[in-house]
Structure 1
Amino acid sequence: MTTTTTPAPPPTAAVPVRSRGRRRGDLTASSTTGRIVKYALLVLFLLVVLMPAYVLIVTSFKSGSEIGVTGQWNLPKEWTTASWGKAWASLGPSFGRTFELAIPVAIISSILGAANGFVLSRWRFPGADVVFTLILFGMFIPYQAVMIPLRQIVTSINIQPGIPTLILVHCIYGIPICTLIFRNYYATTVPVELIEAARVDGADLLRTFRSVILPLSAPGFVVTIIWQFTSAWNDYLFAIFLSNTRNGPITIALNALAGAQSPDYAASMAGALITSLPTLAVYVLLGRWFIGGLMAGSVKS
C-alpha cells in the first residue's frame, strides 16, 4: 500500500506593511499639496479681483489732497465722508428713477419670456421653430446698430424721452434672452403629464399657464429677474440716447459726476460704489438660486 502525499502550496508573498504605508502616505502628501496649491490660487485670484474694490473704497474716504497716483494704495490719513455726501447729492434723484426703471423691466420681461417659453416649448404649432429663431435673432443685434433708428422711431411717434421710454425698450430687448431661458426650462424640467392632466380637467392655455406652470417657474424667474434688473440698472447706451440728466437713470448722473472738467475722484469713487450697491444686493439675496435656476433647464430630468 502506497501513500500519496500532496505537495504543500507555495507560500504567498506578503506585501510589506512598510511599503503599503509609504504608498498611502505619498497619496496623502500629494493630495495635501494639491489642496494647498488650489487654495493658494483661489486666494491669489480673490486678491486680484478685490484690488479695484480696495482702491475704490479707500479713495472714497480720502480728502482731495491725499488723492494721487503715488498714494493710491495708502489708507487715508484722515477718514472723511464728505465725498459720499457730495456723490449722494448728485446721484440721489436719479437713484429712485433707476428703481422705477429696473423693477418693471425685470418683472414685465420675465413674464413675457415665461409666456413665450411655455408656448414655444409645450404648445407646438406650425412654424414654431421659425418664430423661436426670429425671436432669438434679437439677441444678436448690437445696441449700436439700432440706436439711430430707435431714436427716430421714438421721435416720430412723439414718445417723450425718459424712464417710460427706457422701460419699453428694455422690455422689448429682454424678450429674446428671457424666452430662451424659459423655453429650455419648461422643455426639460416641467413634466408633460402636468400639462396633459390640466388639459383633461378642461383648462385652456391661459389657465394652464397661470395655475400650473407659473407656480413651478420660480428658478427661471430668479435667473431672468437678476439678468434683466442688472442689465437695466447698468445700461448707459440706451439711457444716453433716450433720456437726459433730468429724467434719466443713475448711470447718466454718474457720468456727469465723473466727467466734469475738474473731476472729484473721491466723489466719483463713492458714486461708483453707491451705483453698484443695488445690483450687489440683488446678487447677494438671490445669488444662491441663480446657478440652480440656470442648471435647472440644462439637463432633462
Structure 2
Amino acid sequence: MIKQNKLSFSRLAIYATLLAACAVYLVPLIVMLLTSFKTPEDIRSGNLLSWPDVITAIGWVKAWDSLGGFFWNSVKITVPAVLISTLLGALNGYVLAMWRFKGSQLFFGLLLFGCFLPFQVVLLPASFTLGKLGLANTTSGLVLVHLVYGIAFTTLFFRNYYVSVPDALVRAARLDGAGFFTIFGRILLPMSVPIIMVCLIWQFTQIWNDFLFGVVFASGDTQPITVALNNLVNTSTGTKEYNVDMAAAMIAGLPTLVVYVLAGKYFLRGLTAGAVKG
C-alpha cells in the first residue's frame, strides 16, 4: 500500500512538472495570440495576458496584406526544395547502404562533412554560382541553394535507416530479377515512411525558417516570409502596431506548427530507426 502511494505521488509529481513546463512554453504563444486580436489602444492600456476588450482581426488583415506575397514565395521555395532533396537523399542513401562501390565510404564521409559546414562558409561560392547560372535574386536560386545544402542531411538520414534493412531481403529481390529502381520503389520506399517524415519535417523547418540565405540571395519581391517579417517588425511609421507584428509572426510560424502536428508522431520513430546497426 505504501509502495503504491509512493508510485502515485511520483506520477503526480511528474505530471505536475510536465504541466508547469508546458505552461512556461505556452505563455509566449498565448501573449502573441491575445495581442494579435487587440486594438493598439487596448495593448497600451492593458497587460500582456489580459483578454482583449474588443476582439478584432484587423491586425491579421494588415499582416496578411504586408506578408501575403512573401508567404507564397516561401511556399514556392520550400515545397520543391523539400521534395527534391528528400528524393535525392533517399536515392543516395539507398546506393550507399545497398549498392556499395569503390570510394563509397569516401563519398559518404564528404557528405557527412557537408552537414557540419556553417551557412556562412557557402555564401560567397553560392553567390558566384547563382550569378553564373543567372539565378541571382530569384526564388529558383533559393530552391537550388537549399536543395544542395539539404542533400547531405537527407542522405545521412536515409543511409542510416537503410543499413538497418536486412541484407537478405535485398538479395532475395535480386535473385527474383528485381533491378535497381524496382528494389528501391517497391521494397524500400514503402518501408521508409518514418524516415521520409523525418526528412520532410527537418527540411521544411530548416528552409521555411531560414533567414540568412533569404536575405543574401533574394531581394525585393522574391524574398521569403522570414525576411519580410524582419522588415515589417523593424520598419514603422507613426504608432507601433504590435497587433500587426504579432499576427505576422503567427502567420510566419503556422506552417511549421501544422507540419509538426500532422507528421510529428513519425519524427522520433524515424530518428531512432537504424540507430543500432551501421
Q: Same fold (TM over 0.5)?
A: yes
Report what 1:19 is aligned to: none
- List structure 1 runs of 4+ shifted beyond 4 angstroms: none
TM-score by length of structure 2 reads 0.93
SS of structure 2 residue aligned to 1:62: coil
Contact in 2 for aligned 1:185/1:220 (Cα 8 Å): yes
Paired with 1:42 and 1:193, the residues of 2 have a C-alpha distance of: 44
Q: How does 1:55-66 map to 2 (within 5 A)?
A: 55-66=31-42
Which amino acid letter does the alignment assign opposite residue 235 of structure 1? Answer: D
Aligned: 1:223 with 2:198: yes
Aligned: 1:153 with 2:129: yes
Counterpart pick for 1:98 among 48, 62, 74: 74
Aligned: 1:169 with 2:169: no
Contact in 2 for aligned 1:62/1:76 (Cα 8 Å): yes
Q: Which deviates further from its counterpart, 237-246 or 142-151?
A: 142-151
Report what 2:248 is aligned to: 271
Report what 1:7 is aligned to: none
Counterpart pick for 2:10 among 34, 54, 67: 34
Contact in 2 for aligned 1:245/1:253 (Cα 8 Å): no
Counterpart pick for 1:284 among 261, 269, 274: 261
Report what 1:131 is aligned to: 107
Paired with 1:162 and 1:170, the residues of 2 have a C-alpha distance of: 13
SS of structure 1 residue aligned to 2:221: coil
Q: How does 1:183-262 map to 2 (within 5 A)?
A: 183-188=159-164, 190-262=165-237
Paired with 2:45 and 2:249, the residues of 1 have a C-alpha distance of: 19
Paired with 1:233 and 1:103, the residues of 2 have a C-alpha distance of: 9
Which amino acid letter does the alignment assign opposite residue 80 of structure 2? Answer: P
Contact in 2 for aligned 1:181/1:297 (Cα 8 Å): no
Aligned: 1:79 with 2:38: no
Contact in 2 for aligned 1:244/1:252 (Cα 8 Å): no
Alpha-carbon offset, residue 29 of structure 1: 1.8
Report what 2:276 is aligned to: 299
For these two proteins, the number of residue pairs brought into alignment is 276
Larger radius of gyration: 1
Q: How does 1:35-54 map to 2 (within 5 A)?
A: 35-54=11-30
Paired with 2:7 and 2:176, the residues of 1 have a C-alpha distance of: 58
Paired with 1:252 and 1:218, the residues of 2 have a C-alpha distance of: 33
Runs of 5+ unmatched residues, structure 2: none
Contact in 1 for aligned 2:89/2:151 (Cα 8 Å): yes
Paired with 1:238 and 1:221, the residues of 2 have a C-alpha distance of: 24
Alpha-carbon offset, residue 162 of structure 1: 1.9
Which amino acid letter does the alignment assign opposite residue 279 of structure 1? Answer: T
Alpha-carbon offset, residue 43 of structure 1: 1.0
Paired with 2:112 and 2:172, the residues of 1 have a C-alpha distance of: 31
Report what 1:109 is aligned to: 85
Q: Deviations over 1:6-56 (max 9, x none)?
A: xxxxxxxxxxxxxxxxxxx22122112111211111111011100110110
Alpha-carbon offset, residue 252 of structure 1: 1.6
Contact in 2 for aligned 1:63/1:78 (Cα 8 Å): yes
Paired with 1:107 and 1:131, the residues of 2 have a C-alpha distance of: 22
Paired with 1:167 and 1:179, the residues of 2 have a C-alpha distance of: 18
Report what 1:142 is aligned to: 118
Runs of 5+ unmatched residues, structure 1: 1-24
Paired with 1:72 and 1:211, the residues of 2 have a C-alpha distance of: 54
Which amino acid letter does the alignment assign opposite residue 119 of structure 1? Answer: V
